[in-house]
Chains A and B, each alone.
Chain A
Amino acid sequence: MTIQKENSMLQQKQMLADHFIELTQVQETGKKVVYTFVPGNLTELIYAFDMLPVYPEINALQSGMRKQSGDYIREAEEYGFSEDVCSYVKCDVGMMLQGNIGPTGQKLPPPDLLLLSYTGCFVFMKWFENLKYLYPDAEIAMLHIPYQESGRIEPNAMQYIKDQLTTEVIPKFERVSGKKFDPDKLASKMMLSAQAEDLLVKVFDSAQNKPSPIDAYFGGVYYIGPIFTAFRGSQACVDYYQELHKEVEYRVANGLGPITPDGTLKEEKFRLVVEGPPNWTHFRNFWKIFYDMGAVFVASSYTKVGGLYDEGFRHSPEDALGSLAEYCLGCYTNRNLPQRVDMLDNWITKYQANGFLVNSIKSCNSFSAGQLVIMRELERRLEIPVGFIETDLVDPRYYSFSNIKNRLDSFFQMLEQRTLYTGITS
């Protein structure tokens, strides 16, 4: 079972490979390495200092997909982490304790700077507090992003972030990289970011077609890869999205459904919106349950964690620091619950979904706390069938196929009944 490879996918693969090669060569090139988080990441700024980003979350996710997370998590639990806490943290710490071998099988360089950008998830802070002890030589910079508690961005929050950027983050970048901050360089990266973001939005919007040419969850995690992580602000990233967009347009023009590991989806039976991250340890197996049933995800909250571009935000070269601040404040999990419900409501309507599913992650409180309320609220507002399953991101112990299958079987039969009897058809 291999994913049918399209050009964009090969392109993305190459970008990643190149990035990892660059990382393994830092000793020769002298480039400095920054570890940081996906939500609210400051990739443009990192590149403006010619440093290289590493995302422990992405490493954890990759370890999950490569079936190594179980071992890493065990290692971290032996180290002292509780069974109850975020498995990303444990997977990352475990990987580090076992030699920090990255997804390509090569050793990752240790961080020169831990950029603790604490956006939307409290665990980030605890995570890097732990890493600080594991990498005692690294410099650490804290960037605290206040929560959008009032449902809007408060001016003092913007100011607070800008202040932190100028008094804490940028000076530390300068110190570690040995370079002066160059605002023009940052601005030029921001410009490229905005171009890629425009294209990504178009890709996601294409799910309004019937059949949807994309799967905005399982396929979506590939689509968001470059823009959410190491490549935003690069020309390669823009090129990737141009290619991807072309492919999607082709599928729309030809009435094709999304690509799955078993080829193009034949018949779109259900259109779903999902809240919560996917499971990585059994990613294919999990995906298969859905495409076997003809279920397509037309929107998902997870693919918005690295930026809610479809809500209108774009990185902007004018007031670049302000733009970064706005970006950080606007991340999905940094928005309050009522806002998140409204967003999901909007997606369900906009993409004409006929079902809403929650994939609740056992060890991720940031997403999980409140999901049941979100579900009930949407059920009430939209009278849409809802489903609820539980898995974990990278802890294989929490993926119980039979349990999930049993629940999903009933969910799909429920959707079927609905479509046949009450005429809520797509």
Chain B
Amino acid sequence: MKFDNFSEAIQHARTLFEDISFSYASNWKKQNSTRHIIGFLPIYIPREIIHSANMLPVGIFGAGDRIPVVHGDAYFQSYICHLPRTVIELAKSGHLNDFDGFIFPAICDVIRNLSGIFMLDNKQKFIRYLDYPQNFEGNVGGKFYRQELNRLSTDLEKLNGKKVITNELNHSISIYNEQRRLLKLLGDFRSEFPHKLSAVDYYLIQRTAHTMCVEDFNPYLENIFLLLDKLDVEPEDKIRVIISGSFCEQPPIGLIKTIENAGCYIVEDDLQLNLNWITKEIPTDTDDPIGALVDAYINHSIFSSTVYEGDKPKGDQLAEQVKDRKADGVVFCAPSFCDPALLDRPQLEKAMDKHHIRHFSFQYHENLGQFHVIKEQAGTFADTIKLWE
């Protein structure tokens, strides 16, 4: 699969994004009987382990407005965020039938209880709620996490009989290292030339990393780089913003577009946080690759609302990001009823004030269709910075 033109390449990503049947994954699975599909929810999971078990980790980020919610509302009251509804809807309407298992990373109470709902509803499938340590001492939290990961790999082994072995896991880590490297380049490119790579296109490419197998994705992304180089687009008079708080339930594409159309280039965001979770290259030459993953998680992961901040204030880290990306301001954009994001907001806002960084905030849900209020707010934000400063 090679693309000669940027819009075709993006169209490919869009098609994958819109395909709520995950047919890419199904096709991948058909090629070999030991292949399995493991769905995972936001935010972070160590995909390397799944990969080396010969399984495809597929990110499930809800289904936005691409599926009408009928059954989902029977599972969740109106004052719970929207994402778990479309996840249920996908399951109920058979779109996840080809999946062999699901991993629910510890992120919040909703996802936690969703794992229980899946257990009640899908008795025959592999369901795992994966707890991450909130203690960052290697011999305490690290030890616990290592045991959790070991338990995960033994459980996966039971599915297809494929053992996770050291050199294969090392290989998996290296190929994901490469993915992380490429994605970081893409992020840097977007930040430098936001007019060439719109937030929506960037997002679609990122989503592809959670749909395609890594062996297909890495060349796809290299292909994109070649095409991006050829693009010739003039920058517009827009301000630069960072989006914070959308790490789980995803804002609708229309919303991302609205923000940019209203005059704000998005130069950094946390929509697909899993992809940038590990901030360092993980060593691939150890005889303890699980240990390497544990170390990466404990010592080299990005700040997030779902991780105990300890003595590294998240606000300062966000301010750092603003500086790195030369952003004019921060847009706190969180799903309605999202505890992790919304409970962080007061302190993050205070931190932005402290650093004299402009910000504004709003809430959304994944199937929002009316962007009026957001357009006005984003527009005013841009006006304010443009007209006066």
Contact = CB atoms under 8 A, between A and B. Distances in A.
Please say whether the chains A and B touch (CB closer than 8 A): yes
Interface of A: 79-82, 84-86, 89, 116, 118, 121-123, 125-127, 129-130, 133, 142, 144, 146-147, 149, 154, 156-157, 159-160, 163-164, 167-168, 336-338, 340-341, 360, 362-363, 365-366, 368-373, 376-377, 390
B75 A362 contact: no
Nearest to A336: B116
Given A125-B134, A147-B129, A81 B77 contact: no
Contact of B344 (A116, A126, A149, A360): A126
B84 interface: yes
Interface string B327-370: 00000001011111011111101100000000000010000000
> Which range contains the number of B residues in contact with the other chain?
35 or more
A371 B338 CA distance: 18
Interface stretch (B142-150, B258-266, B281-289): B142-150
Contacts of B106: 147
A153 to B, nearest CB: 13
A160 B110 contact: no
A112 B336 CA distance: 34
Given A82-B345, A370-B114, 15 more contacts: A84-B342, A123-B343, A133-B347, A142-B135, A142-B308, A144-B135, A149-B115, A149-B131, A156-B144, A160-B144, A336-B115, A338-B119, A365-B109, A365-B110, A372-B75
A79 B347 CA distance: 10
B336 A84 contact: yes
Interface of B: 74-77, 79-80, 84, 106-110, 112-117, 119-120, 128-131, 133-135, 137, 139-141, 143-144, 147-148, 151, 305-306, 308-310, 334, 336-340, 342-347, 349-350, 363
* A-B interface, 9 closest residue pairs, ranked by CB to CB distance from nearest: A337-B116, A80-B346, A126-B343, A149-B129, A160-B144, A370-B113, A144-B134, A156-B147, A369-B113
Contacts of A163: 135, 139-140, 143-144
A362 B119 contact: no
Contacts of A130: 343, 346-347
A126 B128 CA distance: 24
B79 A362 contact: yes
Nearest to B336: A84
Contacts of B135: 142, 144, 160, 163-164, 168
A118 B306 CA distance: 12
B104 to A, nearest CB: 8
Contact of A122 (B139, B144, B340): B340
B71 to A, nearest CB: 11
Given A163-B140, A163-B143, A85 B116 contact: no
A369 B76 contact: yes
Contact of B337 (A147, A340, A365): A365
Contacts of A84: 79, 336-338, 342, 363
Nearest to A362: B79
Contacts of A168: 135, 137, 140
A171 B346 CA distance: 31
B144 to A, nearest CB: 4
Contacts of A167: 137, 139-140
Given A80-B350, A122-B108, A376-B74, A129 B308 contact: yes
Nearest to A116: B308
Contacts of A133: 347, 350
A377 B75 CA distance: 11
B109 A366 contact: yes
Contacts of A123: 109, 339, 343
A167 B137 CA distance: 9
Given A80-B345, A144-B135, A390-B77, A373 B363 contact: no
A126 B340 CA distance: 7
Nearest to B311: A140
A371 B109 CA distance: 12
Contacts of A337: 113, 115-117, 119-120
A167 to B, nearest CB: 6
A142 B129 CA distance: 21
Contacts of A159: 143-144
Contacts of B305: 126
A119 to B, nearest CB: 12
A129 B151 CA distance: 30
A85 B343 contact: yes
B79 to A, nearest CB: 5
Contacts of A370: 75, 113-114, 116-117
A365 B144 CA distance: 26
Contacts of A360: 77
Which of A81, A164, A369 is packed against the most chain B CB atoms within 10 Å? A369
17 contacts: A80-B350, A84-B363, A86-B339, A86-B343, A122-B112, A144-B141, A146-B144, A149-B131, A156-B144, A160-B143, A336-B116, A365-B110, A370-B113, A372-B74, A372-B75, A372-B77, A390-B77
Given A122-B109, A126-B343, A365-B110, A144 B308 contact: yes
A77 to B, nearest CB: 10
Contacts of B108: 122, 365
A32 B107 CA distance: 33
A231 B327 CA distance: 52
